[in-house]
Amino acid sequence: MQTEIIIAGFGGQGILFAGQLLAYAALDAGQVVTWIPSYGPEMRGGTANCTVVIADEEIGASTVRNPSAAMAFNLPSFDKYERLVVPGGVFIANASLINRGLSRTDLKAALVPANEIAETLGDKRLTNMVMLGALLELLPVLSMDALEKTLAAHLPERHKHLLPLNHQALRQGAEHVRKIYQPIAV
C-alpha cells in the first residue's frame, strides 16, 4: 500500500518541517519513504511545498500527480491542490487563510482554523502541527503517538522545551476534525 501526501503553502509556515516529520515518523515505523521539498528562492513568503510518499514496499516513482491527501496552508495552494487529490482522498485546508469552501464533494475534507488554534496555544508557529494533527485524524497512516515520539527524537535540543505545546497542537488539530466528523445521534 502506498500513500502520497502533498503539503503546500508559503515559506515560513513550517511546510517542509511538517513533511520531514511525517517522513521520519514513517521511517521510524518501518515504512519506506520519500520526501521531496520544493520551494522558491525567497526566505519567507514564497511558495513552498513538499511531497511525502509512505509505502510498505519499494516506491517506484517519487513524483506525484494525484495525491491521496493534501494539506493547503494558503489560498493559492488550496486552488492548486484541491482539484488534484484523488476522488475519496483527504484534503485539509487552513481556514484561517482561505476565504471559500471546497468545490468538490468527493473528498474527505476539513477546513481547520489552524492559525487561530495555534495562536490560542500561544505561538502561531504551531500552525503546522495543528494541520498535521488534523491530517492524521482523517488519514491514519501513522498514529499520533508515533508522530509525537518522532518529534521528540528529531527536534533540535534548543527547541525541546516546545514539545508539550507541539503535542497539544497536534491533538487540538485532531480534535477539531473529530468534532466535524462526529456522528449525529438520532
Q: Report d(CA 45, CA 13) in Å as an integer.
A: 9
CATH superfamily of 2-180: Pyruvate-ferredoxin oxidoreductase, PFOR, domain III (3.40.920.10)
Q: Where are the domains of the chain?
A: 2-180
Please give the DSSP secondary-structure letter assigned to residue 46.
Answer: S
Helix (H) / strand (E) element for 32: namely: strand 32-39
When pLDDT is cut at 50, 70 and 90, the band that residue 181 belongs to is confident
Say yes or no to pLDDT of 125 above 60: yes
Mean pLDDT calculated for residue range 165-180: 95
Quick one: pLDDT at residue 1? 86
- 66 Cβ contact partners less than 8 Å away, ≥ 6 residues apart: 4, 84, 85, 86
Q: Secondary structure of the chain: what % helix, strand, coil (to 5)?
A: 45, 20, 35
pLDDT tens digits for range 54-95:
999 988 877 888 999 999 999 999 999 999 999 999 999 999
> 130 and 18 in contact (C-beta within 8 Å)?
no
Quick one: pLDDT at residue 39? 79
Q: Report d(CA 6, CA 20) in Å as an integer.
A: 12
pLDDT tens digits for range 135-169:
999 998 999 999 999 999 988 899 889 999 999 99
pTM: 0.91
